[in-house]
């Protein structure tokens, strides 16, 4: 069974960085792109980008360049999303999803406090 298990909720101070994780089971992440998506209640869904875990290639929405960094560890079958210089605009739920089965993780709630 394909599953994506994301790391737990984060409460982080403004200006800090955070690294979210997404561990896959039921498939090998190096076989498919892994995507990250941001959801805020009034802004809907925003695609952040994808990573090819096999070679580390990435594609970002330009508006997340400099904010988000995607990495992957094929040995642990885990994809990561690092967000830097956090502000209140980064408060959201972040999802990972795979690029083949289109399964989504359960989401990680990030709250940035001032």
Partner 1 sequence: DIVMTQSQKFMSTSVGDRVSITCKASQNVRTAVAWYQQKPGQSPKALIYLASNRHTGVPDRFTGSGSGTDFTLTINNVQSEDLADYFCLQHWNYPLTFGGGTKLEIK
Q: Which token pair is 47?
A: 């695609």
Site string for partner 1, 70-99 (x = CB under 8 A): -------------------------x-x--
**Phi, psi at 85, each rounded to 5°:** 45, 55
Task: For residue 80, list its beta bridge partners.
Answer: 21, 71
Cα 110 from Cα 66, distance rounded (Å): 18
**Is 57 one of the binding residues for partner 1 (CB under 8 A)?**
no
Check if the beta carbon of residue 22 is closer than 8 Å to that of residue 78.
yes
Position among 89, 102, 111, 113 found at the interface with partner 1 (CB under 8 A): 102
Position among 29, 68, 92, 105 found at the interface with partner 1 (CB under 8 A): 105
Position among 44, 55, 75, 114 found at the interface with partner 1 (CB under 8 A): 44
């Amino acid at each position: 069974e394909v599953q994506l298990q994301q790391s737990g909720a984060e409460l982080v101070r403004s200006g800090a960085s955070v690294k979210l994780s997404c561990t896959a089971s039921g498939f090998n992440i190096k076989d498919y792109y892994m995507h990250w998506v941001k959801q805020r209640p009034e802004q809907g869904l925003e695609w952040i980008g994808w990573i090819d875990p096999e070679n580390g290639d990435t594609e970002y929405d330009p508006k997340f360049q400099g904010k988000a960094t995607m990495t992957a560890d094929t040995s642990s079958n885990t994809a990561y999303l690092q967000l830097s210089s956090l502000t209140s605009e980064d408060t959201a739920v972040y999802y990972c999803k795979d690029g083949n089965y289109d399964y989504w993780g359960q989401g990680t709630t990030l709250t940035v406090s001032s």
